[in-house]
């Protein structure tokens, strides 16, 4: 691989990171401007919360659907199509003053999310130097972490100070920046082997039991993180007894942890195999979330553990994506997109199970305990996958 090719590939990965920034921005900025949207539309905050849920539903449904729709397109055209769709419907969301129109546009905005990251993961792995696929994927996902550190606080401030619609215009601008960088920086000639649709039916690649076990691992295990993250605001205010303004600081600290964890996960893949890396991270998450449920009343401990949870959560991203791509042989793009849908199913299930203790009158800190249990189950699924691989290997020998 010559110097010019290296430079081209770095720019291509940067274009994927810019896309990740835009997707992270639209997914999380709405949480900070939800009261503003509710006031503008004259609806309750719980009803405005439907805009978060419908986006996640769009991701879950859109991942495999978009992967199927774009199966005959080459990767560059696929990514451009997905980002054009993303840009149009996020920009239209900025002008939606009606509840049902906003619901429609949020659902449509979520549809390209999973496919963009899923196909982008396959492309980034292909563009990487030998043995550096995980690092290439980490560069793409770094855009998501930077969105949590910089984009979401900025978008929240803009939405609160002026109008919430400007937050979505900021997302639209990110989409235009991604389209421009993809058009000029994403190569086509270096991706010939990914251009043609697979000779075998994509469905053959998703029949793998290992693939579905990994998707279950993602759904259950990452649900542990979302059981904690979904209730971070009441945890800070009610348990740690800090002012409301500190919620944003805790989120930023967790976001910084995500940034470092993203590249830590890429490094772990080089030391362990992908599934072992995920198991280690899940066991660490189990421990940290349980500690958080016990010591969250201490403000210093809360900040430290929030950073660590961010590190651990994103250390899972690259390893699980690589494991999925390997398991979905013949349907890599579809399998990778389905894993992004699994992350969002983890988002929904984690929020639901994390809230159950409060329904029965227990404290907010019990959401972290539930998160620890979910992460532990994720580790158990990973161990079962490794054991199954070992048994199959012994049978073949």
DSSP labels for 15-45?
HHHHHHHHHHHHHHHHHHSHHHHHHHHT--H
Percentage of the chain beyond pLDDT 90 is: 27
In this structure, the answer to whether residues 217 and 336 fall within a common structural domain is yes
**285 pLDDT band (50/70/90 cuts)?**
very high
Pairwise CA distance, residues 115 & 332, whole Å: 11
More confident residue, 230 or 78: 78
Is 90 exceeded by the pLDDT of residue 229? no
Is 60 exceeded by the pLDDT of residue 4? no
Residue 179 pLDDT: 93
Arithmetic mean of pLDDT, 208-226: 88
Structural domains counted in the chain: 2
**Residue range(s) defining the domain that contains residue 236:** 198-397
| Tokens (6 digits) for 225 | 């993180």
Residue 370 pLDDT: 93
Q: Which residues have C-beta within 8 Å of that of residue 213, sequence separation ≥ 6?
A: 381, 384, 385, 388
Tell me what the pLDDT averaged over the chain comes to. 83
In this structure, the answer to whether residues 178 and 204 fall within a common structural domain is no
What are the pLDDT digits (tens) for 127-170? 777 767 777 877 887 887 888 788 888 887 888 788 888 989 99
Percentage of the chain beyond pLDDT 70 is: 90
**Last-in-domain residue among 155, 177, 197:** 197
| Tokens (6 digits) for 77 | 């055209």
In this structure, the answer to whether residues 193 and 74 fall within a common structural domain is yes
In this structure, the answer to whether residues 158 and 285 fall within a common structural domain is no
In this structure, the answer to whether residues 151 and 300 fall within a common structural domain is no
Lowest mean pLDDT among 204-208, 277-281, 296-300, 371-375: 204-208
Best-predicted range by mean pLDDT among 35-44, 177-186, 192-201? 177-186
CATH number at residue 345: 1.20.1250.20
Q: What is the pTM of this model?
A: 0.79
More confident residue, 390 or 108: 108
Is 90 exceeded by the pLDDT of residue 200? no
In this structure, the answer to whether residues 143 and 206 fall within a common structural domain is no
**196 pLDDT band (50/70/90 cuts)?**
very low
**Last-in-domain residue among 197, 219, 244:** 197
């Amino acid at each position: 691989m010559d110097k010019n090719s290296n430079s081209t590939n770095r720019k291509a990965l940067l274009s994927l990171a810019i896309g990740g920034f835009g997707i992270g921005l639209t997914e999380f900025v709405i949480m900070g401007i939800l009261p503003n949207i509710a006031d503008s539309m004259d609806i309750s905050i719980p009803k405005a919360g439907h805009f978060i849920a419908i986006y996640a539903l769009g991701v879950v449904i859109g991942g495999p659907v978009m992967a199927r729709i774009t199966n005959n397109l080459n990767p560059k055209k696929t990514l451009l199509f997905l980002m054009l769709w993303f840009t149009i419907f996020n920009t239209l969301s900025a002008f939606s003053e009606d509840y049902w129109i906003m619901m429609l546009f949020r659902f449509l905005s979520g549809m390209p999310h999973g496919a963009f990251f899923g196909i982008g993961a396959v492309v980034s792995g292909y563009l990487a130097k030998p043995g550096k696929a995980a690092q290439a994927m980490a560069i793409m996902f770094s855009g998501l972490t930077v969105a949590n550190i910089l984009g979401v606080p900025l978008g929240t401030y803009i939405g609160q100070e002026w109008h919430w619609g400007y937050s979505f215009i900021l997302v639209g601008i990110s989409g235009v920046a991604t389209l421009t960088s993809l058009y000029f920086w994403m190569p086509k000639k270096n991706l010939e082997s990914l251009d043609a649709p697979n000779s075998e039916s994509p469905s053959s690649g998703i029949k793998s039991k290992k693939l579905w076990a990994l998707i279950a691992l993602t759904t259950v295990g990452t649900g542990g993180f979302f059981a904690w993250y979904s209730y971070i605001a009441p945890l800070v205010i009610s348990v740690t007894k800090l002012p409301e303004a500190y919620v944003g600081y805790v989120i930023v600290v967790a976001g910084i942890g995500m940034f470092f964890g993203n590249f830590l996960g890429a490094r772990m893949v080089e030391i362990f195999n992908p599934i072992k890396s995920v198991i280690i991270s899940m066991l660490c998450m189990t421990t940290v979330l349980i500690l958080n449920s016990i010591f969250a009343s201490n403000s210093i401990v809360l900040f430290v553990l929030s950073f660590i949870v961010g590190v651990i959560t994103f250390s899972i991203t690259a390893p699980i994506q690589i494991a999925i791509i390997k398991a979905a042989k013949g349907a890599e793009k579809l399998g990778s997109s389905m894993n992004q849908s699994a992350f969002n199913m983890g988002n929904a299930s984690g929020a639901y199970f994390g809230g159950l203790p409060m329904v029965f009158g227990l404290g907010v800190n019990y959401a972290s305990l539930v998160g620890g249990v979910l992460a532990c189950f994720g580790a158990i699924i990973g161990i079962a996958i490794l054991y199954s691989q070992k048994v199959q290997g012994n049978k073949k020998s």
